[in-house]
């Protein structure tokens, strides 16, 4: 009898042991799966972040190459600005007090005699709207977003009740979708800054440029319901890295009635020189005083936290000098390094 009981107990014990082992294995499996999922997510995030870094480094490299070229071509130039140099239209027009900024490359390399008059200098020629010009207009523009800094930038702009312009690139993830919508919802102007932001790809041919343009226009339409007709060329309209004649690409935009904007003031957050927050502010302030209409180049990118820190100070200083901070709209005087009107149909 007791033997029978013993046997029963043994069987029960064994059953329990097997059960325990099974449970243990199940937990082990679950833990493994969770760990694997965690590792995958981390790796995906890492890859994404690395891709962003590669893009930024590529842009920085191209920019510093441009600067190097400028320095080589104009070794005795007094102007020691890293990115752009003042091209004094006053010297040619005798009268205009505003110089026009464009990269020295554009001046030196454009043997093709591209007209580089901005709408602003043309306006001055005609002498119209003198009163309007007494008001200093500043257009803050943010390139390369959306990014993990977009939300912070939007909050700062809200805090100071300032509307700005975002030149956006293409992203498909949900976080980006929300940011596209948030930028539109909060009343800022949306412009295109190419879908891929890869110079090699966009500037490979007219066809490649057109297809990238279509993609970013569709992405913004899909996300915000806006048909965007505002563009900023990656590297600007006078960039020297495009494999395609920029005038051909300008013609494409002209045909589609898309207006492109370059800039005449930059904070320097995309140059190879790593400016401090104070220097970023100073870079903007020292150039803004030169123009009635300033289009300021800033970046909305994951690694531009100094720009985010500089932004409130820039806004406060601009507001202190009674500048109007505005989003780009159809009435904004265009600032273009290579004028759209200089490109014939
Ligand atoms: Zn860019």
Q: What is the pLDDT of residues 135-157, one digit of tens each?
A: 899 999 999 999 999 999 999 99
pLDDT in the model for residue 65: 56
CA of 197 to the centre of ligand 1 (A): 7
- Axis crossing angle, helix 174-185 with helix 150-159, rounded to the nearest 10: 20
Q: What is the pTM of this model?
A: 0.68
CA of 321 to the centre of ligand 1 (A): 29
Confidence of residue 60 (pLDDT cuts 50, 70, 90): low
Are 285 and 319 contacting, i.e. CB atoms less than 8 angstroms apart? no
pLDDT in the model for residue 8: 83
Least confident of 108-122, 225-239, 247-261, 312-326: 108-122
Q: Are strands 85-87 and 100-102 parallel, antiparallel or unpaired?
A: antiparallel
Cis-peptide, bond into residue 146, ω within 30° of zero: yes
> Which has more pLDDT, 254 or 63?
254
Q: Taking 70 as the threshold, does the pLDDT of residue 213 lie above it?
A: yes
Confidence of residue 117 (pLDDT cuts 50, 70, 90): very low
Measured CA distances, 115 to 85, 110, 118, 241 (Å)? 17, 9, 9, 20
- Tell which phi-psi region holds residue 236, choosing left (phi > 0), alpha (psi between -120 and 50) or beta: left
CA of 235 to the centre of ligand 1 (A): 6
pLDDT in the model for residue 302: 94
- Joined together, the tokens standing for residue 292 give 């009635």
Distance of CA 272 to the CA centre of its chain: 16
- Joined together, the tokens standing for residue 33 give 């799966």
Cα–Cα distance for residue pair 335/337, rounded to 1 Å: 7
CA of 323 to the centre of ligand 1 (A): 26
CA of 123 to the centre of ligand 1 (A): 29
Helix H segments across 225-296? 246-255, 277-288
No. of helices (H) and no. of strands (E), the chain? 12, 10
Cα–Cα distance for residue pair 169/176, rounded to 1 Å: 10
Confidence of residue 132 (pLDDT cuts 50, 70, 90): low
CA of 298 to the centre of ligand 1 (A): 10
Q: Are strands 265-266 and 85-87 parallel, antiparallel or unpaired?
A: unpaired
Q: What is the pLDDT of residues 66-105, one digit of tens each?
A: 544 544 443 333 333 333 333 333 222 333 323 333 343 3
CA of 142 to the centre of ligand 1 (A): 9
- Joined together, the tokens standing for residue 113 give 């005699």
Confidence of residue 183 (pLDDT cuts 50, 70, 90): very high
> Which has more pLDDT, 13 or 58?
13
CA of 153 to the centre of ligand 1 (A): 17
- First-to-last CA distance in the chain? 107
Cα–Cα distance for residue pair 282/219, rounded to 1 Å: 36
């Amino acid at each position: 009898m007791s033997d029978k009981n013993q046997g029963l107990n043994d069987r029960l014990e064994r059953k329990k042991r097997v059960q325990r082992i099974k449970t243990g294995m199940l937990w082990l499996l679950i833990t493994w799966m969770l760990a694997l999922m965690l590792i995958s997510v981390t790796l995906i995030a890492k890859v994404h972040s690395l891709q962003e870094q590669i893009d930024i480094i590529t842009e920085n490299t191209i920019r510093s190459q441009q600067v190097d070229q400028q320095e080589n071509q104009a070794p005795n130039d007094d102007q020691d600005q890293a990115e752009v140099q003042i091209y004094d239209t006053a010297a040619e027009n005798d009268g205009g007090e505003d110089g026009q900024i464009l990269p020295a490359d554009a001046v030196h390399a454009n043997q093709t005699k591209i007209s580089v008059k901005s709408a602003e200098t043309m306006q001055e020629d005609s002498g119209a709207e003198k009163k309007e010009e007494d008001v200093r207009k500043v257009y803050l523009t943010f390139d390369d977003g959306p990014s993990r800094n977009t939300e912070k930038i939007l909050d700062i702009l809200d805090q100071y009740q300032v509307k700005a312009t975002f030149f956006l690139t293409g992203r498909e993830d949900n976080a980006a979708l929300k940011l596209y919508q948030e930028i539109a919802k909060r009343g800022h102007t949306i412009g295109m800054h190419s879908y891929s932001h890869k110079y090699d790809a966009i500037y490979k041919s007219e066809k490649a440029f057109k297809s990238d343009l279509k993609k970013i226009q569709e992405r913004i339409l899909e996300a915000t319901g806006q048909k965007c007709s505002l563009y900023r060329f990656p590297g600007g309209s006078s960039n020297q890295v495009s494999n395609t004649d920029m005038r051909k690409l300008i013609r494409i935009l002209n045909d589609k009635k898309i207006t492109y904007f370059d800039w005449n003031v930059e904070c320097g957050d995309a140059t190879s020189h790593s400016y401090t927050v104070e220097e970023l502010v100073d870079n903007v302030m020292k150039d803004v005083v030169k123009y009635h209409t300033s289009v300021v180049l800033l970046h909305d990118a994951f690694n531009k936290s100094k720009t985010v820190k500089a932004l409130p100070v820039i806004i406060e200083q601009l507001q202190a000098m009674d500048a109007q901070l505005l989003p780009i709209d159809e009435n904004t005087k265009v600032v273009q390094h290579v004028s759209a009107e200089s490109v014939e149909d």
